[in-house]
Amino acid sequence: MAAGIIFAAISGEVDALNNAIFAAAEDAPMLIIELCGMICLWTGLMKIAERSGLVNLIGKALSPIIRRLFPDIPKGHPAFSAIIMNVAANFLGIGNAATPFGLKAMEQLQSLNPDKSRATPSMITFLVLNTSCITLMPTLVISMRVSAESASPAAIVGPTIIASTIGLCFALIFDRLMRAFYYRR
Amino acid sequence: MEAISLYATPVLIIIILVSGVIAKLPLYELFVEGAMEGLEMCVKILPYVLGMLVAIAIFRSSGALEALSVILMPICKLFNIPTEVLPLALMRPLSGSGALGITADIIATEGPDSHAGLLASIMQGSTDTTMYILAVYFGAVGIKKYLYAPTVGLTADMVSFISAAIICNIFFA
């Protein structure tokens, strides 16, 4: 921010800068008000999905894949269920629900960790899964496009899923390569 | 693919409602409870969005963005990325609310169906706030040595962005 102001002072466009600052400050609450309805609609629906067991069901479907991704965790360890619930919540685009499960999973993984200040391979795989997780429904982006009167607000869903799938596959492969490289010694 | 995009929202709503009916839940009460949490979220993100919108406005109108874009121009040219989307690619791994502010700004100024608007929408949806997630999750259990986690996370973000650009060119040519 400061760098921008200094840059503007040098290039002598302070007048345009002032207008831009006031316009942007005015836009922010308007933007939130426009978004608010769609955000509330989805958080409301997701609450139902959480309680009805739909999130759990998706978790069960994902469980065989998850087990393969974390060979270091002993069978039947409670870390698995927390990881599965976290991934299921991410998959449905409910970040608020994903975070509590994620933190629980980290605690469980930490209990298996011999050096408490150092990340374990399973922790890194888990976080990589979180940072590049596939979202089935980018609800927030769609609501923004609706309020901007897009001709086809949901047209980006397909491309978004493809792009995030490519990112996720790359992340998991790269994670395995880095792990092999790191623990070669 | 167009049809999948079109039917995704209504079908998902029906599935959620049916699952609630099967589980014999008080649908309306739960919906209101969840929607209230959404409202709280809106209030919480307002200061972030405001701060980011002002910061971006300064960054943009000052000419600093053009200076940075010139440096990254060859990469953009290669993948046909509009320069307006560059700040988003730089911000996305660092700050979720910041990236949201930039996406909102691109959609508002360039239009939701413009090349920049479409690409920004895809980029916003296809990755997450890598550095924030690492800081929160590792921080919560007291891990100080992240090892190769940031390398993998940030490289994966870059791969996602470039594939988003390529896919955008294919889908919306």
Q: Looking at beta carbons, which residues of chain B come within 8 Å of A111?
A: none
In the predicted structure, residue A75 carries a pLDDT above the cut 90: no
Please identify which residue in the block is written with the tokens 């963005």: B65
Report the domain count for chain B.
Answer: 1
Evaluate whether residue A142 is within a structural domain: yes
CB contact under 8 A, B152 and A175: yes
Evaluate whether residue B145 is within a structural domain: yes
Q: Looking at beta carbons, which residues of chain B come within 8 Å of A123?
A: 138, 143, 149
Q: What is the ipTM of this complex?
A: 0.72
Evaluate whether residue A165 is within a structural domain: yes
The parent domain of residue A83 ranges over 18-182
Nearest CA distance, A72 vs chain B (angstrom): 17
The parent domain of residue B134 ranges over 25-171
Q: Is A163 on the interface with B (CB under 8 A)?
A: yes
User: Mean pLDDT over residues A137-156, rounded?
Assistant: 84
Question: In this structure, are residues B127 and B100 in contact, taking their beta carbons and an 8 Å threshold?
Answer: no
Evaluate whether residue B7 is within a structural domain: no
DSSP B52-70: HHHHHHHHHHHTHHHHHHH
Query: What is the predicted pLDDT for the residue at A124?
Result: 94
Using CA coordinates, name the residue in chain B closest to A47: B34
Please identify which residue in the block is written with the tokens 């360890």: A77
Query: What is the predicted pLDDT for the residue at B165?
Result: 93
Burial class (CB in 10 A: 0-12, 13-18, 19+), B9: middle
Q: Name the token pair of B133.
A: 């997630």
Evaluate whether residue B8 is within a structural domain: no
Question: In this structure, are residues A105 and A59 in contact, taking their beta carbons and an 8 Å threshold?
Answer: no
User: Mean pLDDT over residues B24-28, rounded?
Assistant: 93
* This prediction's pTM: 0.72
Evaluate whether residue A153 is within a structural domain: yes
Report the domain count for chain A.
Answer: 1
Q: Which residue has the higher pLDDT, A93 or B158?
A: B158
Which of A16, A44, A133 is facing B128, going by the closest CB pair? A133
Evaluate whether residue A168 is within a structural domain: yes
Evaluate whether residue A7 is within a structural domain: no
Which of B8, B50, B156 is facing A174, going by the closest CB pair? B156
Query: What is the predicted pLDDT for the residue at A102?
Result: 84
Evaluate whether residue B13 is within a structural domain: no
